[in-house]
């Protein structure tokens, strides 16, 4: 199975090369789709110089105006060719080496969608501002009530799904 990793980027000059290096190192058949959402801090130029056309598994798309993360994801999703799709933020908050753990339930046929969690415990995690954490827990509770689910971190970056699920919500 091929994995499509969509990386929305906006003003990530200090982290973009490091995160792409880490994503390239993930040991799985993959494509990496970078969508620059009209960065203004030099990220776009850095991507063009160091990444665009330099690696066979990396494709880059550029927005001509800033449209937000959702638009960057939609652009990326339009170009995926993999059987499994995930999102990787460019800010180094999430470690790409965890991707294999996240895609395993899908690859093994046990799930169509897998959510990562920053709040489930068991691993070291960064500290969160109280109101950010409270807001996340509130939104997660509402999501769980509305959809009869038991997810622990609705706002997590790591959302992994099959191409069929992506197509059904696009």
| Residues in the chain with pLDDT values less than 70 | 116-129, 132-133, 136, 144, 151-158, 170
DSSP-assigned letters across all residues of 53-74? TTSTTEEEEE-SS---HHHHHH
What lies within 8 Å, CB to CB, of 122 at 6+ separation is none
Ordered by where they begin, the domains of the chain are 3-117+157-169 (3.90.550.10)
The pLDDT, as a whole number, for residue 58 is 97
pTM: 0.82
pLDDT tens, residue by residue, 130-140: 776 677 678 77
């Amino acid at each position: 199975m091929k994995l499509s990793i969509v990386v929305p980027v906006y003003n990530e000059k200090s982290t973009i090369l490091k995160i792409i290096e880490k994503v390239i190192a993930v040991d799985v058949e993959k494509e990496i789709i970078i969508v620059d959402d009209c960065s203004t801090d030099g990220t776009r130029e850095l991507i063009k110089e160091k990444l665009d056309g330099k690696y066979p598994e990396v494709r880059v798309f550029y927005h001509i105006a800033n449209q937000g993360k959702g638009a960057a994801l939609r652009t990326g999703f339009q170009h995926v060719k993999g059987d499994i799709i995930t999102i990787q933020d460019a800010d180094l908050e999430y470690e790409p080496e965890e991707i294999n753990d996240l895609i395993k339930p899908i690859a093994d046929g046990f799930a169509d969608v897998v959510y990562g969690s920053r709040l489930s415990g068991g691993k070291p995690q960064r500290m969160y501002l109280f109101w950010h954490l409270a807001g996340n827990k509130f939104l997660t509770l509402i999501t769980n009530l509305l959809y009869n689910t038991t997810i622990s971190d609705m706002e997590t970056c790591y959302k992994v799904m099959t191409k069929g699920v992506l197509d059904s919500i696009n």
